[in-house]
Each structure stands twice: as C-alpha cells, then as structure tokens.
Structure 1
C-alpha cells in the first residue's frame, strides 16, 4: 500500500471517528432526556449501546494509529 493511500485511509477513518463521537454525544443527550422523563429502561439500553460505541472507537483509534505508523 502506498503512503498516500495509507494517509487517505487514516484520514477517512479519523473523520468517521469524529462523526461517531458526535453521534454518541447526541445519543447520550437523548438517554439523559429519557432518564429524566421517567424511562430508566430506555436510558440503560442506550447507555449499553454507548459502551459498544466507545469500545469500537478505541479499536478504530488503534487501527488509525497502525495505519499512520505503516
């Protein structure tokens, strides 16, 4: 893989990661609203999904770092 392609892939993944963080923040706001509106089950479900998003974000970050080091 050429260096230019690796940089482009890492840059694209970085943008997707930023989008993922933004969506997670918005989803967290909805979860807090659900909790304050008397829907603790919905809140817990959303928090569980956010934990998955966080785990995936860590894996994506690791992949970006590996690509940038290649």
Structure 2
C-alpha cells in the first residue's frame, strides 16, 4: 500500500503540471487578446480577458492546494 505522503507528492506533482499548463494557456490567450484588440475585435478580446481572470483565480486555488499537499 502506498504511503499517504507518497500519494500527496504524486498528487502535488500532477497538480503542478496542470498549473504549468494553465499558465501556458493563459499566456496564449493573452497574446490572442492583444491581437484581437489591435484588429478591431474588442468584444471577443473582452471575453478572452474574462476567461483569463478565471484561469488566474483557479491558478491561485491550485497553488494553495499544491502547497498544502507538499506540507503534509
């Protein structure tokens, strides 16, 4: 049977990878948002900004969960 700390480490590692993916997606959306704004698609750019805000909120929650897992 796997030790609970081993499970926590594996879970934290998986969440860390998801967090890195989330940051990469956010960076891509940011670039697209800039391009959309510069090319007259302000409404779409605004929707992308809203999506990025959700990513940021979720990234904070993921970071907190990772820290709790790594400390346990």
> TM-score, structure 2 length as denominator?
0.93
How do 1:47-62 residues align onto structure 2 when only pairs under 5 Å count?
47-62=49-64
> TM-score, structure 1 length as denominator?
0.95
Misfit runs of 4+, over 3 Å: none
Q: Does 1:39 align with 2:41?
A: yes
**In structure 2, what is the Cα distance between the partners aligned to 1:39 and 1:2?**
50
**In structure 2, what is the Cα distance between the partners aligned to 1:59 and 1:27?**
20
3-state secondary structure, aligned to 1:38? coil
**In structure 1, what is the Cα distance between the partners aligned to 2:8 and 2:65?**
11
**In structure 2, what is the Cα distance between the partners aligned to 1:60 and 1:11?**
11
